[in-house]
């Protein structure tokens, strides 16, 4: 299952014609980790998110959106289901 951040990162890379190697170099993360984030295999740690935002994102609204989707990805599925059921999200 692809994460929201994984979808975001994949689209961001395609839109800007960035490679895993470039994102890896600019965020000081391994290529395999960035690949796992993009595929949704892993959820990024705060350190990566903040380095990514600092390097690539200039718009405050987009910075907040990235932080939100990472937090959402970290939320357990049971809570997501209950929140959606109760229209909390």
Of the two residues 28 and 80, the one the predictor is more confident about is 28
Q: What is the pLDDT of residues 10-45, one digit of tens each?
A: 999 999 999 999 999 999 999 999 999 999 999 999
Q: What angle do CA 55, 58, 62 make, to 5 degrees?
A: 105
Give the 3-state secondary structure percentages of the chain, helix then strand then coil, rounded to 5: 75, 0, 25
CB 3 within 8 A of CB 72: no
Q: What is the CB-side half-sphere exposure of residue 7 using CA atoms within 13 A?
A: 8
Residue 77 · residue 43 · CB < 8 Å: no
Task: Give the percent of the chain with pLDDT over 70.
Answer: 90
Per-residue pLDDT band for 87 (boundaries 50, 70, 90) equals low
Provide the percentage of residues in the chain whose pLDDT is more than 90: 81
pLDDT category, 79, cuts 50, 70, 90? confident
pLDDT at position 52, please?
98
Q: How many angstroms separate the CA atoms of 6 and 45, rounded?
A: 13
CA 1 to chain centre: 14
């Amino acid at each position: 299952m692809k994460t929201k951040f994984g979808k975001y990162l994949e689209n961001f890379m395609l839109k800007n014609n960035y490679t895993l190697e470039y994102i890896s170099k600019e965020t000081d993360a391994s290529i395999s980790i960035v690949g796992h984030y993009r595929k949704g295999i892993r959820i990024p740690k705060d350190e990566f998110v903040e380095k990514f935002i600092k390097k690539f994102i200039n718009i405050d609204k987009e910075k907040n959106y990235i932080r939100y989707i990472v937090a959402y990805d970290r939320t357990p599925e049971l809570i997501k289901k209950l929140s959606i059921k109760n229209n909390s999200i």
